[in-house]
Amino acid sequence: MSERRKIAVFGLGSMGMGMARSLLAAGHQVHGFDLNAEAAKRFETFGGAPAVADKVAGDLDIVVSVVLNGAQTRSVLFGEAGIAPRLKPGAVIISCATLAPEIARQLEKEAHSLNLHYLDAPISGGAVKAAEGALTIMASGTPKAFAAAKPALDATAQKVFQLGDAAGAGSAMKAINQLLAGVHIAAAAEAVTFGMTQGVSPDQTLEVISQCAGSSWMFENRVPHIAEADYSPRSTVNIWPKDLGIVLDIAKEARFSAPLAAAAMQQFLAAAGSGLGDEDDAAVAKVYARNAGVTLPQKP
Amino acid sequence: MSERRKIAVFGLGSMGMGMARSLLAAGHQVHGFDLNAEAAKRFETFGGAPAVADKVAGDLDIVVSVVLNGAQTRSVLFGEAGIAPRLKPGAVIISCATLAPEIARQLEKEAHSLNLHYLDAPISGGAVKAAEGALTIMASGTPKAFAAAKPALDATAQKVFQLGDAAGAGSAMKAINQLLAGVHIAAAAEAVTFGMTQGVSPDQTLEVISQCAGSSWMFENRVPHIAEADYSPRSTVNIWPKDLGIVLDIAKEARFSAPLAAAAMQQFLAAAGSGLGDEDDAAVAKVYARNAGVTLPQKP
């Protein structure tokens, strides 16, 4: 059992709330912060400590940032009302948002200038794994950052990849994963709807391809949503313009031509643009179906 | 043990040779045909029966066609010197090439007009599985076609999907699989080389992503080729302009927009066009690496 720590979690969306509750369940004192006062109140009903940053900042051992992107991460840490300058020396910041490796390196540098530890620690696994304390974390940072972060990592992750002793590597690996994940979701939708034009049902495609060389983790996870017409959001369409946007920004900066990521991006943009942004990301199949004039399975 | 059958195999490339030898190993009398006399001779050294079509056609129970595409399949079966008109009624043609579902339906019709059975039976699994008699076969055809083909299916396949009672469904499923497989190989190459621009080695990407949501069957199978700089062909770059070409032809016919398959196609065309056609298809990574100015792992 690790010692009880004082922890703040910034960002109580589906991922952050799951992580915050996992930290509570592990016995830590957890303060939850969110721009949405509703979410912060809800977290208190689960046992969360009051979210009064001024009063608690100096006592915190760990800050977990699970906000949307690099700009929000910078804002909650180092912005005008950012918490970092008020943390005690030796506290650790665990940054979980998907952001560019270059931004992670900058944030680490700023943290070090305040005598804080910084762990570049993007997360993978979705809201269900977050709630179970069973995330995958792709982390890089100094040995001291890992050591200081350990109680929080233990409580929230099933698997922690230690990818090096400086920020950047964790975010780079997350970008690689998101490139593949986004392409594979769009490819699954493309394949299933292509099959429908040939008289093959999504159920048949799912059954056969899951056992063939054309399969992927995303194919097996998302095609059932299409086959069952279940677009309740486990992970939304809107994630992908954001995450593939980060991938393509990094790629542009590196002068890296990424035609598949770019093509997948267009399909998710078409999905978001046509009103599907808050649906499960398997709804990108609706773009393909509409373009091809085929009718996807419907709810009974 | 099934009864000894008289079987002809057309096309003794890596897939056809493997199937022909698996049929021999199962105790059947197997005649091997190939435009390349060398390949036919080699098959005889393995125990193959002489390939004299005129003399054996009327005795054959099963014809397995494992040629390159629809045009070659039509030629060996129904062309000027095609074998189909000389087969005895009730013999079965097993067509294994990747071809359009519409062509499969036409070939079945022509076979039926000669009182022959026809099984639309594309194969998956690669040369290694072919040699082991452990292919996956995506098959459709009449119950009588399946029954007549059974001894050959038993000898060559680990798994036979029965996808319906008419030709077309087997070829459609193969096209769906090839769409995904081609996209996933190109995506794996894109992700690995993208990672290299961020300082992440192919070995690291392989280790982490194999355990994450970005993984695919092709990622796990092909990235080791890149990491080990081993481009000896298990399946060649040249397969993909052919197979994705078939996918895109079917898609065009159906007015189906397939942006990911189209993007993958361009990468394989660039690989083939720059002299990599006979290398392992993981060599599509060389296109990405060249475009990005990164150096892939080299043979020690």
Cβ-in-10-Å burial (0-12, 13-18, 19+) of A68 comes to middle
> Distance (Å) from the C-alpha of residue B54 to the closest C-alpha of chain A?
38
Reply yes or no on whether B174 is catalytic.
yes
Boundary-marking domain end, from A121, A148, A166 = A166
> Does one domain contain both B260 and B194?
yes
With CA atoms as reference, the chain B residue closest to A123 would be: B212
Catalytic residues of A: 174
Closest residue by Cα to residue B51 from B77, B32, B75: B32
> A173 and B214: CB-CB below 8 Å?
no
Instruction: Please tell me the least confidently modeled range out of A45-49, A53-57, B263-267.
Output: A53-57
> Does one domain contain both A20 and A154?
yes
Please list every residue in chain B whose beta carbon sits closer than 8 Å to the beta carbon of residue A179. Answer: 187, 190-191, 194, 214
> A292 and B169: CB-CB below 8 Å?
no
> Does one domain contain both B63 and B103?
yes
Boundary-marking domain end, from A117, A133, A166 = A166
In a domain, B192, yes or no: yes
Please list every residue in chain A whose beta carbon sits closer than 8 Å to the beta carbon of residue B254. Answer: 194, 197-198, 292
> Distance (Å) from the C-alpha of residue B81 to the closest C-alpha of chain A?
32
If one counts the domains in chain B, the total is 2
> A191 and B212: CB-CB below 8 Å?
no
pTM above 0.80, yes or no: yes
**CATH value at residue A133:** 3.40.50.720
Q: Which domain holds residue B148?
A: 6-166
> Distance (Å) from the C-alpha of residue A164 to the closest C-alpha of chain B?
10
Nearest Cβ partner for B213 among A181, A288, A293: A181
pLDDT bin (cut points 50, 70, 90) of residue B125 is: confident
Please list every residue in chain A whose beta carbon sits closer than 8 Å to the beta carbon of residue B124. Answer: 212-213
> Does one domain contain both B189 and B81?
no
Mean of pLDDT over chain B: 96
> Distance (Å) from the C-alpha of residue B2 to the closest C-alpha of chain A?
27
pLDDT bin (cut points 50, 70, 90) of residue A2 is: low
pLDDT bin (cut points 50, 70, 90) of residue A130 is: very high
Share above pLDDT 90 across residues of chain A, in percent, rounded to a whole number: 94
Mean pLDDT confidence for B51-64: 90
Boundary-marking domain end, from B144, B166, B188 = B166
> Distance (Å) from the C-alpha of residue A24 to the closest C-alpha of chain B?
26
> Does one domain contain both B86 and B151?
yes
Task: Answer whether residue A52 shows pLDDT above 70.
Answer: yes
Please list every residue in chain B whose beta carbon sits closer than 8 Å to the beta carbon of residue A270. Answer: none
Task: Answer whether residue A92 shows pLDDT above 60.
Answer: yes
Nearest Cβ partner for A256 among B163, B178, B292: B292
pLDDT bin (cut points 50, 70, 90) of residue A197 is: very high
In a domain, A299, yes or no: no
> Does one domain contain both A14 and A151?
yes
Please list every residue in chain A whose beta carbon sits closer than 8 Å to the beta carbon of residue B138. Answer: 208, 212
> Does one domain contain both B271 and B149?
no
Nearest Cβ partner for A124 among B173, B212, B258: B212
Mean of pLDDT over chain A: 96
pLDDT bin (cut points 50, 70, 90) of residue B300 is: confident
pLDDT in tens, B232-274: 998 999 999 999 999 999 999 999 999 999 999 999 999 999 9
Mean pLDDT confidence for B53-74: 94
> B259 and A193: CB-CB below 8 Å?
no
> A215 and B214: CB-CB below 8 Å?
no
> Does one domain contain both A220 and A140?
no
Catalytic one among B174, B242, B252, B299?
B174
Task: Answer whether residue B177 shows pLDDT above 70.
Answer: yes
CA B206 to chain centre: 26
In a domain, B69, yes or no: yes
Residues 6+ apart with CB under 8 A from B2: B26, B150, B151, B154
> Does one domain contain both B223 and B283?
yes
